[in-house]
Chains A and B, each alone.
Chain A
Amino acid sequence: MDLGYYAPLGAEALLTGVALLVVLLGLFVKNKNLGGYLSLIGLGIAMWMVASAKLGTTFFFDTMYVDGFSQFFKAVFLAVSILVVIASLSRYKNHPGQDEYYALLLFATVGMMVVASAIDLITLFVGFELASLSTYALAAFDKEKKNLEAAMKYFIFGAASSALLLFGFSLLYGMTGSTRIADIAAISMADFGPATLVALIFVIAGFAFKMALVPFHMWAPDTYEGSPTLVSALLAAGSKKMGFAAAFRIILVALMALRLEWYVAFAILAAVTMTLGNVVAVWQTNVRRMLAYSSVAQAGYIAIAFVVIGAVSGSTNPDATYISQLGLAGGLLQILGHALMKTGAFIAAGVVGYMVLREGKENPDDIENYAGLGQRAPITAFCMLIFLFALAGIPPTAGFVGKFVLFNAAYDAGLLWLVLLAILNSALSLYYYLRVIKYMYVYKPAGGRISEPKGYVLALLLATIAVVGIGVHPEPFIGWAMQAAAALLP
């Protein structure tokens, strides 16, 4: 066997190895923080491997494929995991079960990376479940009552969705006789049976659970609120993006023949999701719940990418290819930006939660706890300010770049109504983002200055630099996303 041939998948292999090593060492080594540092080093090397991997090779009898698209998503997943691990180094410093924590986190990351590369339904499902099962366990990691409830809801909802997804997959297999995406695409172009629509909707519903599109989002607010904060960050920023990675591959490539059907489905889902997410977010007084609904709304924006591609492909527009690539690139940029800023925002919420629990108060995520944060924890408050502005899409931040490219593509595709709706929604979202900022900077502090944990601060600063960096100098990132989009939609 030629190991060099498998080098592009080295990152997955390495992380699996590190995860096993972390569990093993946990049995023998007293210094529990070792696992965290090992994971961090592993993730760092994996990031380098992903960045330098040779593109355009298939593996394992055409079930895995390494291309620009997969590497884009892998980089996003790894970036999120790195930020979460850095913050966890402070959070779980003396926790007895931290070897399991880091191992689960790494397994979840590997699962997501497999999904990004999968070009076969079975492989994709395995990756999907690996990531899901690891995060079910992570969601209950602190073993508090709230955790357990969150994890339970997440698990039951996830199981139901997996059932739908698997049912959809089996229908696809039944109609085409293959589990390979390329085969399904080829056969479905020729002929498709009457069960088509059912298969499509089941697949969409299965993915929409991960993407948290309305009405498949209901687990998200409860779970993001109830899980340990850093796990919420991983779920909102990482695992949710896995849903998009899978959906882009299956729906845009395998089911391109059903363009008309999914175009309508996603137009409805996108419009309903962003509106509902924002409108309900306005009501939230719990910051993590607000972030969860904002996350739902952001998923609505990202789903515009599907609508753009559905609207232009097959049309007579001479720029059809370019516009669909631009739409996908916009979605990807929004995914990248949202992953960074949402991780950052949840980590900032983590600092506040940490602070409140130390003071022995209840309801760590209540917005009242953010009063005067600008004076109590200046770095956290400032980073949170940047993330909130980025989420609202204010330049020069990553949030602006993503929305700009995405809305631009939607406009070019003739989806003026959707662009207007999205912009109105963005304006509405400012309301609840600014409210947090008002609490942080206008209201009187609720207590004295607090010491911000080092790991959290480092993760926050890294995320802030990335969010602002992308906003100030977007050109290379736009180029990168366009490259990834061109890999999927040649």
Chain B
Amino acid sequence: MYSDYAYLIVGLPVLAFVLTIFLGWHLPKGGGFFTVLATFGGFILSYGIFKEIYPNEILHQSMHWFANFNVGILIDPLALVMLLMVTFVCTLIHTYALGYMDGDHGMARYFAEAGLFTASMLGLIFSDNILQLFIFWELVGLCSYLLIGFWYRKPSAAAAAKKAFLVTRVGDVMFLAAIVLLYNNLASLNLTLPPGEYLLQFKVIYQNVAAIPPDQLTYIALLFFGGAVGKSGQFPLHVWLPDAMEGPTTVSAMIHAATMVTAGVYLVARLFPLFYAAPSALLIVAYVGGFTALFAATMGLTAFDIKRVLAFSTVSQLGYMMLALGAGAVVGAASVGVSIFHLIGHSFLKALLFLCAGSVIHAVNTNDMREMGGVGKYMKYTAMTMAAGGLALAGFPLTTGFFSKDEILVVAWEYGSATTDFIPYILGILGALLTAFYTFRLWFVTFTGEPRSDYHKHESPWIMLGPLMVLAFFALFFGLGAQEPFYHYLESNFEHYDVNFEALAAVGQHHIEEGEAAHEPFIIKILPIIVGVGGILLAILFYYPRFRKLDTRKFTTENDPIRRILLKGYYQHEIYTAWFAETVVYGIALLSNMVDIKIVDATLNKISETTVAFGGSLRKAQTGIIQNYILAIIFGVVVLVVLIKLWLEVSI
């Protein structure tokens, strides 16, 4: 019964968008309850569908659109868990926003855009073909742009929005190129598709991957990964994500932590069979993921803006998800389950952390941790829930983050022992240590010690604390209950399409390891626990006033090059903006501009001047005198006769 209304999962938030944008100005709280209810309705529907199709069925509806394209809904295990997570987390965040955004003049605009975002994200997830997915992908990008620049009068917000839009655009262009290339390859196979099936449907793509030439497959997979890199903030296109924190904190929580940025991971997972047949692409996925995981974590060590620390942490965790997918070359479709499990767990805990940070910012009115200190005394609930999120992120045993990250590291180890390439594993384990450290650095610096500035000392209202508690519960205990059935369910995802992984492995010329690599040494088993707890202990020694034994100043000095590099964020601003954007790109832009003005524009101007002047003189033929008009008819007839005669003479 719920399955018949699957389209409403997107329809309800769209309705909320329309209602809030037109009526929100006249309603209390900007009509935000429309968005909350619509998203919650989406959750109910998704849950109903889950009950109906779990564990053995998928839901597929499709209708013809035009030419050889269709629009359709595909809810398989992969899409279903994403739908549940997005509707659930977004409902909580929208509820929280009712409190957080209260009093902002643009509240109606906020909830309208948030509703549109939710709709686009859900549409992206349940698309049954890559073209439709791309359309929603772009819509999601648009909403992200609008919401980062929500306070558009603030120059830094406007600049951040522009940066996010432009940087992700680089990825989007690659995504589009990938679609075109994939379409060309599929079209050249001259498939005869049964009615109701279309070339760009995932089912058709999965089944025909093996027929595409391997070199083409690698290009396609890499271009798709390019799109994912842009959206999911992987190195080197991660630069937009920390700046995106200029938006309201709820936006950061919803778009730039819990949902939209995971779209890239989702894309790679969705196209996993294609990647699987192109192992060199998967290798790059693993390396980029692993490198990003460590690289972003090091930047998290030195940031002072509470939201930026979390942003770097998001980039880093997305790297882990990519790393898990990349290891799929060895472990097969199981890696999708591992990666998506971390994605889901991360969504809970990162939404929680951002909302806690929002709660603190709401009270303290600054983002800078150096001006906080001792906040825990006045905001007990926020401090406790944030601690829960921190433990989960750090991978403290038995929290959600522990299970998911542990599994990723195990997969990375298996990958290493099968290929003797342990670099992704080492990157991952080092990143895990740093993650635990910077998370608790943030917590201790913010919540313990003495206030370092004069801020408002009050706890947030219950409409904000409620969602925090729910998320804290999930961040702590979701992994304990759901882990095993989750892996099992997601691993079955591609069985619904009869994807033959062995044939795909043959295309990619590699083998699935049959479990013999799973006997990792004891030390590998407990290493994640050691680094997780160790990182937390280190943070205690450095930053918790009561047990402070170590001082950062003992280890580094003002002139320490490593410290300077980290503080400067690897000079990325200097490289990307000052050097690349302002020198190289600007130089090229100047040159192109000159060519444009002197040659292209000059020619075009000449042409248009001539055209316009021509029009001006032709206009004079329209004298308004009817005799002249009749003359024109006769003239026309004569000229036509003459021209036709001439033409026939010439051509015969």
List residues of chain A with CB under 8 Å of any chain B CB.
Answer: 152-153, 156-157, 160-161, 164, 197-198, 201-202, 204-205, 208-209, 214-216, 218-219, 221-222, 260-261, 264-265, 268-269, 276, 279-283, 428, 473-475
Contact = CB atoms under 8 A, between A and B. Distances in A.
Contacts of A153: 626, 629
B611 A428 contact: yes
Interface in B603-652: 611-612, 614-616, 618-619, 621-622, 624, 626, 628-630, 632-633, 635-637, 640-641, 643-645, 647-648, 651
A280 B618 contact: yes
Given A264-B647, A265-B644, A216 B65 contact: no
Contacts of A202: 637
Most buried by A among B67, B624, B626, B643: B626
Interface residues of B, number: 31
Nearest to B647: A264
A197 B640 CA distance: 10
Chain A interface, >50% SS class: helix
A436 to B, nearest CB: 17
Contact of B644 (A157, A160, A161, A261): A261
A264 B632 contact: no
B633 A160 contact: yes
Interface in B215-250: none
B64 interface: yes
Specify which of B624, B629, B643 lies most central, judged by the most chain A CB atoms within 10 Å of its CB. Answer: B629
Given A216-B636, A261-B644, A280-B615, 20 more contacts: A152-B626, A156-B630, A161-B633, A164-B633, A198-B641, A201-B644, A215-B635, A219-B629, A221-B622, A222-B624, A260-B648, A261-B648, A264-B643, A264-B644, A264-B647, A265-B644, A279-B614, A279-B615, A280-B618, A280-B622
Given A268-B643, A280-B618, A474-B66, A216 B632 contact: yes
Most buried by A among B611, B619, B640, B651: B640
Nearest to A157: B629
Nearest to A278: B615
A197 B644 contact: yes
A161 B630 CA distance: 9
Interface string B54-74: 000000000011110000000
A415 to B, nearest CB: 15
B641 A197 contact: yes
A220 to B, nearest CB: 10
A201 B619 CA distance: 25
Contact of A475 (B66, B629, B635, B637): B66
A157 B628 CA distance: 11
B70 to A, nearest CB: 11
B561 to A, nearest CB: 53
Contacts of B644: 197, 201, 261, 264-265
B373 to A, nearest CB: 51
Contacts of B641: 197-198, 201
Contacts of B67: 475
Contacts of B611: 279, 282, 428
A283 B615 contact: yes
Nearest to A282: B615
A265 B66 contact: no
B636 A283 contact: no
Contacts of A276: 618
Nearest to B618: A280
Given A218-B629, A222-B624, A279 B637 contact: no
Contacts of B637: 164, 201-202, 205
B651 to A, nearest CB: 8
10 contacts: A156-B630, A161-B633, A164-B633, A197-B645, A205-B636, A215-B636, A219-B629, A279-B615, A280-B622, A473-B65
